[in-house]
Amino acid sequence: MPDVILRQATSDDLDALIELENRSFREDRISRRSFRRFLEMPRDRLIVANLHGALVGYCLVLMSAATRMARIYSVAVSPDARGRGVGEKLIREAEKEAVEADRIVMRLEVREDNESAIALYRRLGYRQFGTYRDYYEDHGNALRFERRILFYEPTREFPKVPYYPQTTEFSCGPAALIMAMATLDEQQPLTTLEELKIWREATTIFMLAGHGGCGPHGLALSAWHRGFYASAWISKEGALFKDTVRNDDKKRVLELVHEGFLHDIGQTGIQLHHDPLTLEGLESALHEGRVPVILISTWQLNRSRVPHWVTVCAMDDQFVYLHDPEIDVAAGETVADKQYLPIDRRVFDKMSRYGRNQPLQAAVIVGPRR
């Protein structure tokens, strides 16, 4: 069987693209004018597949100027060439092009009744994350899929950070701290029991609704008591998260817990800084063999304004790479989705601030005790 040849489309392909578009779709067709505009847009990619000298498929990829997202806008394969893996080859090439353009995630929409395309996307590792109602001209619905396409390869420049997923909805802080400590000590337990022990030591008792989360003071103490060096960088003084509870009695409990943390920190060598940790400080810590645990707002990740702890594993000129301990299994996420998650440095700067008015910035740096 002759190999399918993939290449970038040119203006000479316009007639063949229109012919293929008309054969492939009854509605929502891309016009000649739109194809020409996509060809002239240097940021986007229009990839075509040739077989026996004929154009038998295309994949149009749009590259967002504002984010690190890429989007497969349209894919078409000639009926005569189906069953030869042309669609899969086009998608893989689209992903490769997007990675070379420093895109992190590929997204796409597909008709909810297009079972063959949905099966292909799932087989290629795409997961559904949403639905567009009344999306097509005939009022059909579209399923939204995405796949992370950019992955970090650990190097000797930074220590390799093992991954540990949180086992409860409220123990992201202990899970993030466990990953940092296990980086420095292979004997560090990676267990639910250890996770819950740390939560009991570091919890603020109350926060938002339900179980309390962990604060930087408590996490620093937990690391210190396990034989590690720890420093805490906190942008404000006083009891944290008081604005997340309304009850005065709960606020008083938060204050008492905070006073207890400060007393215990005073009995240790923990360095307490009432300043935010800068990106430069973050990078310096990594180069010195220490591991930062950072409080973030999940708004940039999932549009939920919830405080959440993650472990910083590496950095380069473009990205901060995180281990996120929370895996949403119901949404199809896997461990691979949450390891070395690349976050644009500018996005990370916004992400590492929790709250709207005078946002809190908090970090705990864990290192070997010298």
Interval 281-295: pLDDT, tens? 999 999 999 999 999
Question: For 141-190, what is each residue's pLDDT tens digit?
Answer: 999 999 989 888 777 889 899 999 999 999 999 999 999 999 999 999 99
Percent of the residues in the chain that have a pLDDT greater than 70, as a whole number: 96
pTM for the whole structure: 0.76
DSSP string across 56-68: EEEEEEEE-SSSS
pLDDT greater than 90 at residue 356: no
Q: Would you tell me how many other CB atoms lie within 10 Å of the CB of residue 66? A: 5
Q: Which two tokens stand for residue 329?
A: 């299994």
Whether residue 212 has pLDDT greater than 90: no
Mean residue pLDDT across the chain:
91
Q: If you average pLDDT over each of 71-85, 127-141, 162-176, 201-215, which comes out highest? A: 162-176
What pLDDT, on a 0 to 100 scale, did the predictor assign at position 68?
81
Q: What is the arithmetic mean of pLDDT over 2-31?
A: 93
- How do beta strands 54-63 and 45-51 pair? antiparallel
313: Cβ contacts below 8 Å, ≥ 6 apart: 152, 154, 158, 161, 291, 321, 322, 323, 340
Structural domains for the chain? 5-148 (3.40.630.30), 172-368 (3.90.70.10)
**For position 2, what pLDDT does the model report?**
61
**Average pLDDT value for residue range 47-51:** 95
Whole-number pLDDT of residue 1: 43
More confident residue, 99 or 153: 99
